[in-house]
Chains A and B, each alone.
Chain A
């Protein structure tokens, strides 16, 4: 009973104060909101330790059981421990252990970031272009009216995001400016997309309000592990 009541009360009080503080930004609500935000930041920092523990447990278990693809887990755990040690001990830092930031230029941490993490991350992101091209070739087919409209919009945006769009319709007279590809691309993004996105955002906001209210007043207790 206590295990459920106390978390429910904490949730209700914090939720209520944060909602009220938005409309009454005066003491004691504004100071309470600030304090709660700081508690959140502290919890978020502690979550890193939980995350690290979880990572070690998950991958450690895979390694010990010699699961399929356990080698990748070994690389993950090895990389994690190596970078953690380099960061904590500030190995190679030009000003020693106490003198400089962990990311100081010339430190081993900086080398790992600069010569391993950075190129790997950029490579992963760059691969997207290849997969987008392949997926477009396979899936972007004008099978019906909706798909055809989608295809036309995609063409306008793709061309409008480059100088080719300007070039292709530069011959149009000024009276037909509304047919120029960059103009069309901009209008699609700032009018059609704008309206659609705002509608989605308002819908999501209403959903969040109702879900939050359910949590604050204790109807939704799923975060406690109950139904």
Chain B
């Protein structure tokens, strides 16, 4: 499987017609094999926000990787912030609503700013002091809290506010499609992406590191501080040990064939603990390209990842994507009859489709539509259920 080079940038020329495209006739029966796309262009990705969190961009904005796009409030809680008397109350960071009328004495300086103010509405960013939370400071510095307004009852507002705030930087460039405080930011990414099956953690960015794999696996000990800032291709499966080590080494992400539910649960708990602590952390995301059970990475994807080695990539968690915005992408050459076993005892093996074999009896007395396949480096043919196979399309 030799790579060929094609231009797949979203703005540049399109890839040449792939052999698996619908325009090319497939061998009989192959159309019943499940297709798997290995590349998507200009995907739309989502960064979720919650109550107390705000978007720093608006729909239509063009953003680059590293642009601050959102502000998170890890310690947000719902508090009663009292009455907000209207247009004068809002949008003055550091000045509480009660004192705002006094604070805007300088008419010349404040008038244009006041004109820009809007009345308090749900979702609006609000900044106040600890005294607004019913805890007047005693010999302590006044802690400012900020967050979003939630709702008003009987003239009193409730808001989701916190003292700690973290700025989220865009892991990829693109155009903001939608940005709503407390809800989400959606971005149409400039570039292409490899779709994954599972993602966890946070959106992150780093250079792609494709180390030498031993039997398709990466040993956890290979994750050292030298890989700090990288998104590392970790082989067929990510272990809990590798995840812990990667996070300790400031690695930005891991890409593997599979990851187990236990590891995902551990990671979620660890991230929650880290959020609750005061220590800031670098974003870390992981993607499993296949699923939950151990399987080697598909060779077309491995070829694509190898071609991207050393380039900047981003991990998107919703949907699970490995995003890259490079212009020239060497695409793997896909033979029309190239198939991979998706599940079953031969899972992960690849070979060539020879012909459909009709209804066959398999283990357990189960009758299934079958196909004859010749695996790589084998001279004998194997009969497999068609439902266990997948073929790749660009």
Tell me, yes or no, whether A binds B: no
Which A residues have a C-beta under 8 Å from some C-beta of B?
Answer: none
Residues of B within 8 A of A (CB): none
